[in-house]
Structure 1
Amino acid sequence: MHYMLPPAMAPAPRKFPFLDQFSYLKIVQPEWSKRNNMNLFFKNYPRSLSHGRLVLAAIVQANNQLFQPGANDCPAVLVLDLEGEMKPEQLIQLAHRIFDLRQEGTATTEREQQLADYLNAESLHGFGMPVPETMGPESCRITAVFIVRKHLPGGHLQSKILPVCVNPDNGVAVVLPVKYWS
């Protein structure tokens, strides 16, 4: 898998073809998300996509359905570096360390325990949460996303790294649709 950010899509604001805005880029908000804080993702999706900072993100955890072909779009949790300075391998290692917090007794600080509780609660959706200082640079954030299958290569997760557009102000990140990858 090629991990370079798409150069043509890097500058913001990004402009998308008119017809794509009403078909390919349009996503349907599931009913369940209207009753929890995932609603913030859907309210900010268009602006994050067009004006967000383009960086790489690593998957911390995702609904198992997303790893195989299927019909359902699902949430996931990613870790990203707002500065875009971490290498893909470093992001993947950080994502593994964060995921490992789910195992009881592995958290060594209060902040790590809060993150472990968040990951284990799977129905909570946070945006732009700082990574505990014991785990990574202060520019790294953990954020929930809603993964849209038609925006992924082959319609499912095949890599641990994805290009995302993130709004640094509210932490809402959107996977850059595959149609716009280089």
Structure 2
Amino acid sequence: MLLECRQRFGDAPRDFGDAEKQHLRVAFSLITRIVSRSDGLCQPLSAQRNIFRDGVVVWGHLIQANGGLFEFGQRDLPGEMVYSLRVPDFDPAKLEKVATELVALKGKQPTSPALLEIADYLTDEMIRVFGLKVPKTISQEACLISTVQFVRHHLPNQMLSDSVLPIVVAPQPSHYAFVLPAVYWPDQLLRHWGVARPLIG
């Protein structure tokens, strides 16, 4: 399914038509309704054209997300995702194991400085990270963590219905990421989410 996502989205650098550009675009106003422009959530928006043009399509696994994303709504909201760029076809089942170990750190005070950084960030829920390395004690596969703003019109049913999603990640630091819009998802993945193919426009 990931290969088909990549085929549908195309090879980088991508050249989008006007309708695609409009569909991909994430308006600043959708985020600045809930946070200030100094919030780290706004950083990927400034780079969104480059992310969609040059980004790498990989599986991402949800670590945690704003609870409003699990129900229908209008607001785009943030969450945290783990993924691997070094192993772009990383098994989602292995990603799930990594995500489970990461979320277990929330509210804890581990002695390892690297684990404590992740624990503090997940507990705070207002810290933004982009390309934060997952310690090798959790994964040897060079996994990274990024805060992702979940754009409602990019999701197949405008809400989160699963923990595994294809995401588009900037190949160079900072590793900003967006969910791959569902118009580029394969039929099998859309059926898994219980939706028909959305349209551009």
TM value normalised by structure 2: 0.83
CA distance in 2, matches of 1:181, 1:168: 20
For residue 4 of structure 1, report the CA deviation from its aligned partner.
5.6
* 1:13 matches 2:16: no
Alignment counterpart, residue 99 of structure 1, candidates 88, 92, 103: 103
Q: 1:153 to 1:4 in 2, by over 3 A?
A: farther
What is the letter of the counterpart of residue 48 of structure 1?
I
Specify whether residues 4 and 67 from structure 1 end up closer, same or farther in structure 2 by C-alpha distance, changes over 3 A only.
Answer: farther
* Aligned equivalents of 2:92, 2:111: Cα separation in 1: 25
Q: CA RMSD in A?
A: 1.7
Structure 2 alignment gaps of length 5 or more: 187-201
Match of 1:77 among 76, 80, 92: 80
Report the alpha carbon displacement of residue 15 of structure 1 after superposing the two structures with TM.
2.8
Deviations 1:68-115 (A, max 9, x none): 11111101110001121420111111111101100324x351110111
Indicate the residue corresponding to 2:126 in structure 1. 123
Structure 1 residue 53, shift from structure 2 partner: 1.0
Deviations 1:116-172 (A, max 9, x none): 001111111110011012111252100011110111111101111111111131111
Question: How far apart are residue 180 of structure 1 and its match?
Answer: 1.2
8 Å CA contact retained: 1:3, 1:161: no
What's the % identity of the aligned pairs?
Answer: 30
Normalised to the residue count of structure 1, the TM-score between the two structures is 0.91
Aligned to 1:39: 42
Alpha-carbon contact 2:106-2:119 (below 8 Å) kept = yes
CA deviation after TM superposition for structure 1 residue 40, in Å? 1.4
In the other structure, the counterpart of 1:178 is 182
* Structure 1 contact 60–96 (Cα < 8 Å) conserved: yes
Residue of structure 1 in register with 2:194 after alignment: none
